[in-house]
Each structure stands twice: as C-alpha cells, then as structure tokens.
Amino acid sequence: MQTYDLEAEGLRGLNASLHAQSEQTSQTNWEVVNPKGSHAIAVGLDAPIEVSVQGSTGYYCAGMNKQATVHVKGSVGPGVAENMMSGLVKVDGDASQYAGATGHGGLLVIKGNASSRCGISMKGIDIVVHGNIGHMSAFMAQSGNLVVCGDAGDALGDSIYEARLFVRGSVKSLGADCVEKEMRPEHIELLRDLLARAESDAKPEEFKRYGSARQLYNFNIDNAY
C-alpha cells in the first residue's frame, strides 16, 4: 500500500505518481490521505490500480478514468468521474452536480445521493445511485445505464437519446421526449447485474424503465419552443 499525503505533497505529485503506473505495476494499491476537498484528484488514470481517497473531494475526482478503481470514502464535488472511459469509481457519500457527465464507459457507484444533472450527456457509462438524484439528470444522455434506487427530480432524461434509465422511486417529472418504457426480461437481467456490482440489495422488479420516445431525433419545427 502506497500512502500519499495530498496536503503535504501536493496534487501534481499525486497525479504524476499515479500516471506513472503501468499495466504491469506492482504498486497496485494507493491511499490518498488529507484530500480536504481538493479538485482533480486521481484524474486521467490509465492502469489497473486501486486508489482509496480517505475523505471528501472537490471537482472532477477520477475524471477521464481508465482501468483504475477509485474509492472515495467521503463525498465528492461536481463532475466526479466525468468522461470516464472504463474502470470503477465508488463514492461512499453524496455527489454534487454532473456526476458521471459524458462518461463513455466503466461503472460509477454513488452510495448516497447525487445532485442535479447526474449522467448528463452520458455516452456509455453505467451509473448506480443508491439514493436520489436531482433535476435535469440524464439530459441528452446518449447511451449507457443510469440506475436510481431512490427518487428522481424534475425533467429526467430531457432530450434523451439511447441511454436507459431505471428508477425505483418516484420521478418528479420527465423531460422532453423521455417516456416510461416496458421492462423486458433483458432489462431485469441487466439491472440485476448492475445492482449486484454496485452492492445494492434493491430488487430489479421494483424499478421502472425510462427512455427516448425518439420524437426529437429529426428536426421538426413543431418541437421547438
């Protein structure tokens, strides 16, 4: 286990050390202490390493992650795991705005709640939120899966493309072109796998599925307002 004191040694040294790890590294376990809300912790990683952050972070923790597992033992600021490509990012606490924004792959697990615009413009990432999510989540979501074990706020899935949204609780309102869809057996299986990987004991059968009505896919003046 490598321990890195962020307060004492600085952000550049941390990210440089993590970037220096390769596929074959033997230093696979890293612990970051004293994060104290710092921004851009463990961004741009590209190696099969595990990074444990002992506390809460600021903006963009684990941004553009590839391969790595980043576990935040606290809450995260805006844009956690933004544009993630692969790997796993797990947050024990809550997440601020834009969690998993534009993510292309990998799994983001938020044990607490996520604020507004969770999964905005997501492009293949899987996101599982154990709690609730805020308004405008999954705005322009292109692909991937957003699983919400609690409730969703206003305008869920506005202008959504092909992403799948699964919500166990209530949805305050659906955004433009987002509709409830049939929950088929393949969706139950998909959800069962995601919930298991996210360490949630929720039952897939308790969820409703939402997705695109595909009415905005080609420009129509009657849809403009």
* Residue span 205-224 as binding mask against another protein, x where in contact by CB under 8 A, dash where not: ------------xxx-x---
Question: What's the rounded Cα separation, in Å, for the pair 86 and 95?
Answer: 19
Q: Scanning residues 173 to 192, which ones bind another protein (CB under 8 A)?
A: none
When asked if residue 11 is in the footprint of another protein (CB under 8 A), the reply is: yes
Phi and psi torsions of 188, nearest 5°? -60, -45
Q: Site for another protein (CB under 8 A): which residue of 88, 128, 140, 202?
A: 140
Where in 15-34 is the site for another protein (CB under 8 A)? 15-16, 19
- Please report whether residue 67 would count as binding another protein according to CB under 8 A: no
- Considering CB under 8 A, how many residues would be counted as binding another protein? 42
Candidate list 68, 72, 120, 149; residue touching another protein; CB under 8 A? 120
Rounded to an integer, what distance in angstroms lies between the CA atom of residue 73 and that of residue 154? 29
Among 85, 183, 188, 213, contact with another protein (rule: CB under 8 A): 85
Rounded Cα distance between 17 and 65, Å, is: 15
Closest C-alpha among 150, 146, 145 to residue 171: 150
**If we measure between CA atoms, which residue out of 80, 101, 99, 88 comes closest to residue 37?**
80
Which segment (14-22, 147-155, 171-179, 197-205) binds another protein by CB under 8 A? 14-22
Binder among 58, 87, 134, 153 for another protein (CB under 8 A): 58
Give the nearer residue to another protein in terms of CB position, either 64 or 188: 64
**CA angle, 14 then 115 then 90, to 5°:** 40
Cα angle 57, 60, 62; round to 5: 85
What values do phi and psi take at 197, rounded to 5? -70, -25
Nearer Cβ to another protein, position 102 or 113? Answer: 102
- The site for another protein (CB under 8 A) is made up of 11-12, 15-16, 19, 39-40, 43-44, 46, 58-60, 63-64, 66, 78-79, 82-83, 85, 97-98, 101-102, 104, 117, 120-121, 123-124, 139-140, 142-143, 159, 161-162, 217-219, 221
